[in-house]
Amino acid sequence: MQPFVFNTTPAIVFERGSARRLGAIAGARLGRAVLFVTDAGLRRIGLCDEAFASLQAEGCSVTMFDGVESDPSRATLMRAVEAGRAAGVTGVVGLGGGSSLDVAKLGALLLGSGEDLDLAWGVGQARGPRLPLVLVPTTAGTGSEVTPVSIITVAEEEKRGVSSPVILPDLAVLDPELTLGLPPAITAATGVDAMVHAIEAYASKSSNNNPLSRMLARQALRLLGANIDKAVVDGQDIEARGAMLLGSMLAGQAFANSPVAAVHALAYPIGGTFHVPHGLSNALVLPHVLRFNAPEAASVYAEIAADAFPGLAAEQGSQGRCAAFIEELAALSKRLGMQTRLREVGIGEAHLAKLAADSMKQQRLLVNNPRPVSEADALAIYRAAW
């Protein structure tokens, strides 16, 4: 067995209604003054109210920062840091989707250490310390509550990431009730995103691909595959919502330690340039990247095919099961009502060459792919997806 390192969030609470008790669960960790990071939409619909009030009930002074946008910018991050610094906060809460959790992670780092963000980009560069950090996801997709990664948009179309165990939170609070209001389109896109995390973690060429990540990835696919249709069709199905939230977290633990690869590398330019939601960006290229990888990874994909789609257990041979798995994933996106072609999200054929060139900037991800991806390969994949 190869040596490996497995890092994850030290404490996880999974409980219906747990966000209403956030103060009792997390107040002692966070200290007397808390920066509460979220987005304006969640605040407007009142999804933050009970968690916010529960922190106040425990005697915390809470500063609300609700300026997080999709694909958050460096300017947004620094505004959050300034708000926290002005309030003298002793801890940070992130409540929302992956964007809010990413801002909370780096906010806690910069508030706790004062380090230069430009020296923290990349893998293992963040030094810390950070402030106490508690994350509360409201989507079942990113798994950000258990990953050491934060992605920020640093220029008009460029995303950069900080990847370091230092920004793993102290506590993740998973409350399925917070996901009940998710619209079907967001439920579908975030759910497929979580499936991509599990698939890429399982097949990753990373030297840190390990038995724990592979086990978690398979369990994630079982939960996600069995419940994604239910959650999209009936958004009030609390059991399906809970299963999706848990599956997303398990997939997050998997890819946090066995990193993702070309699906994400090719998805990032789609999101950065055309502002397509991250989960949908992944779904648009997923079957095409897997077909490209199949000559090297058919046996690996065949191992997990029936986890996501139990009916594929009857398929004979690795090649046949792999092909059927990829077709099921393509059919899933269509069945869930998602766009399936790049042209359907406003991407013209003339844009594909730039997407391919931009994807080459994601070498930290491409090195984990089962098959090497050149710029010409990336262009061919985008053309297949167009």
Give the Cα separation of 329 and 201 in Å (integer): 16
Does 245 map to a domain? no
How do residues 299-319 score in pLDDT, each as one tens digit? 999 999 999 999 999 888 999
- Is residue 243 domain-resident? no
pLDDT (0 to 100) of residue 338: 96
**Domain-embedded: residue 33:** yes
In this structure, are 158 and 281 located in the same domain? no
Read off the CATH number of the domain in which 93 is found: 3.40.50.1970
Looking at residues 199-218, what average pLDDT do you find? 98
Residue 50 near residue 19 (C-beta atoms within 8 A): yes
CB 272 within 8 A of CB 153: yes
How many CB atoms are located within 10 Å of the residue 178 CB?
Answer: 28
Q: Are residues 37 and 72 in the same domain?
A: yes
Last residue of a domain, one of 178, 195, 216: 178
Q: How many domains does the chain have?
A: 2
- On whether both 197 and 158 belong to a single domain, the answer is no
Regarding whether 148 and 202 lie in a shared domain, the answer is no
Shared domain for 332 and 197, answered yes or no, is yes
**Cα angle at 259 between 255 and 262, to 5 degrees?**
115
CA 109, 196, 356, 257 torsion-angle sign:
positive
- Which pLDDT value is given to residue 314? 87
Determine, yes or no, domain membership for 216: no
Are both 36 and 57 inside the same structural domain? yes
Same-domain check for residues 84 and 143: yes
CATH number of the structural domain spanning residue 355 = 1.20.1090.10
Residue 116 lies in a domain: yes
Q: Is residue 280 part of a domain?
A: yes
Q: Give the pLDDT mean for 149-158.
A: 84
pTM of this structure:
0.95
Mark whether 309 and 198 lie in a shared domain. yes
Q: Are strands 11-14 and 171-174 parallel, antiparallel or unpaired?
A: parallel
Q: What is the pLDDT of residue 159?
A: 79
Provide the residue range defining the domain that includes 201.
184-208+259-385
Asked whether residue 339 is assigned to any structural domain, the reply reads yes
